[in-house]
Structure 1
């Protein structure tokens, strides 16, 4: 049987996190239930989330350009750096997947889910993306109550049938009905110490990419790839327009996550008073502005199909690779 918890009762215990990025929104909701209230930039920074990737995906006709580390790692890093216990489970059984989540909800515990957002009924323009995160906070006989990003409506609902399809979807980035919970496991880490550790770890990872598609090397590569992409594209308007949407408006906080990381560094400096962090904050303020300029140029490509805008974006990318490398070199020494 389904629960019949009223909305008022529910929200006194589980406060939906209002965020722009799906993973920090879902995980932030779980942390809210534990009495841990942090900003989205702080969660992203503690999650060592900043990265870069350019990748040719089989289900896309143009290169994917992303600005964060791999799916799942942000939540793992947040939990590790705050000394919290993350419990992640998967099962190929749809029935078991729901029964296990339902049991947790019946014990009044919010649960994080990874799924394909294409099947969620509140998405007005659904696309297949199986690395999407939501928190589930309640259910009844027909629907699930979820917390998604602010742009998707924050506290929303979808049918249990659609939720099952989303959780069990196959294809790129899909999981086996993945769900997770977070618990306090002894004393939490001191936030100042956790911030410094996260910054150094993120900088170390960023500065040592295993392949040339990642980090500052990936940005250097992207400066050439976008020109070849333009030259070979059969649908410049749609492809460049979609890329702009993914970089600016698809949960990145704008400027392909650089706005969020800039704001994290500002908070980190206020907390630590570390001069290296302050200098990097100023650098990332410029970096975020440059990425906004690139995205604006790519949008003009979509609108006008003029190659000159691609060439301008390419030149900014070349300088950005150097700027991001220099900023991260400052941070690794804090």
Structure 2
């Protein structure tokens, strides 16, 4: 019971990767960067009140599921989405749909996916993957962050789909029921860019967008006093982990968005987008440098570790770079 025609492509990020792989199966070719850009996936938020594994949450992309919803809406795709009150109902529904030869997108917890190396398995409950069939009691998996197709046993898949914690996946599964084979990306690209600029520059709450990066920078400057050195390394560790989460993260999302702008420049014949794409990769480099320095602080390599004040200044630099970029992007006439 498998869909041998399912094409697996490794991608940088799970949600935009699943979109690209799933829609490609139905003949709608959309690259991962294009899906990420149309879905306005680029974002920043620091949420001191939302604890992830006991430490404040930091996100470098829009909340899970939003990219998918926006891409479907903007491209006119109808998607069936289901959640379940029990694992039994969830697995029964999955078996029924893949039995009909339909690949299914699933929300899961990284912690319970045995094909991930142990160092990558932490309690992150918003990982997307595709199950496209079942053979010899094993589910056939296309996980976009993996190089090749893989499999998972039913017990692990139940644990991953019905993991506890925030956000609880509740067995969420989704699959297209109506996919147009040809669409114009022009208006969706425009809508995606406008929304990303709005979210990064104009949300009045100081926890989000460029303001959110500056808010985090001020917090980090005082980490030695509050929450204190021991907890500060946990806090910093989480900022880096969410930044570099399974190969993508904060810097990776910046490079992914740059790739989207390169594609958009060609599609819309707007060379200024290509120039901005190059500028934004430099912002990605700033984030990478921050992660590298913060990682040294976490490992207490005191001889060459930077101070919390210096880390704070690096974040202020990231904020300034992002503000300049998004203001320029908002001014491009699309």
Match of 1:51 in 2: 43
Match of 2:18 in 1: 26
Moved over 6 A (4+): none
SS for the counterpart of 2:51 is coil
- 1:268-307 paired onto structure 2 within 5 Å: 268-306=264-302
Distance 2:244 2:37 in 1: 19
Superposed displacement of residue 261, structure 1: 0.8
Superposed displacement of residue 253, structure 1: 5.9
Please state if 1:85 is matched with 2:78: yes
SS for the counterpart of 2:29 is coil
Match of 2:240 in 1: 244
Cα distance change on mapping 1:270 and 1:313 into 2, 3 Å? farther
Distance 1:302 1:23 in 2: 29
Match of 1:190 in 2: 184
Match of 2:166 in 1: 172
Distance 1:64 1:233 in 2: 18
Please state if 1:261 is matched with 2:257: yes
Match of 1:107 in 2: 100
Distance 2:163 2:140 in 1: 20
| Pick aligned residue for 1:224 from 213, 218, 233 | 218
Counterpart contact for 2:242–2:249, Cα < 8 Å: no
Cα distance change on mapping 1:174 and 1:154 into 2, 3 Å? farther
Match of 2:127 in 1: 132
Superposed displacement of residue 236, structure 1: 5.8
The range that moved more, 40-49 or 232-241, is 232-241
Counterpart contact for 2:131–2:142, Cα < 8 Å: yes
Q: Deviations over 1:63-86 (max 9, x none)?
A: 333210011001111112222112
Superposed displacement of residue 134, structure 1: 0.7
SS for the counterpart of 1:176 is coil
SS for the counterpart of 1:332 is helix
SS for the counterpart of 2:230 is coil
Q: Deviations over 1:238-279 (max 9, x none)?
A: 654454343125242661511111111111112212255234
Cα distance change on mapping 1:253 and 1:317 into 2, 3 Å? closer
Cα distance change on mapping 1:230 and 1:25 into 2, 3 Å? farther
Please state if 1:158 is matched with 2:152: yes
Distance 1:61 1:96 in 2: 31
Match of 2:138 in 1: 143
Runs (5+) with no aligned partner, structure 2: none
Cα distance change on mapping 1:326 and 1:45 into 2, 3 Å? same
SS for the counterpart of 1:308 is coil
The range that moved more, 40-49 or 205-214, is 205-214
Please state if 1:94 is matched with 2:87: yes
Distance 1:16 1:282 in 2: 29
Runs (5+) with no aligned partner, structure 1: none
SS for the counterpart of 1:209 is coil
Q: Deviations over 1:137-169 (max 9, x none)?
A: 11135221111133x444121111111121112
Q: How many residues align?
A: 325
> Normalized against structure 1, the TM-score is what?
0.88
Q: Deviations over 1:80-112 (max 9, x none)?
A: 222211221112122221222222111111110
Distance 1:210 1:99 in 2: 44
Counterpart contact for 1:46–1:198, Cα < 8 Å: yes
Counterpart contact for 1:236–1:305, Cα < 8 Å: no
Distance 1:309 1:40 in 2: 37
